[in-house]
Amino acid sequence: MLEVDLNALDAALAAGEPLIDVRETDEFEQVRVPGAVLVPLSEFVSRVNEIPDAETVYVICAVGGRSLQAAEYLQARGINAVSVAGGTMGWFQSGRKVDTGPVQS
């Protein structure tokens, strides 16, 4: 399985599974899923060591294209990763809680 829907992400977040957001910083600051960790796709290969060791790593972007690329990259390296279909825009449009603003360091 390479893609999951927003309901599966809801359940995963409730269970404490990690969510990696592969959008760029400006996109992330506009709107993001609470708890998402930013690792932009443009920096993904050089920062892959930051991906947490988990049963499943969830990857999200705006609508699903970039996150699918990142999930495929991780799977090729033996990491169980799935892309979130619909992405952050689907999450936001569904009325779920979001965070905004600058990333806290």
Active site residues: 61
Q: Which residue type occupies 75? A: Q
Residues 22/37, Cβ–Cβ less than 8 Å: no
Beta bridge partners of 21: 38, 60
Residues written for the chain: 105
Quick one: three-class SS letters along 33-85? CCCCEECCHHHCCCCHHHCCCCCCEEEECCCCHHHHHHHHHHHHCCCCEEEEC
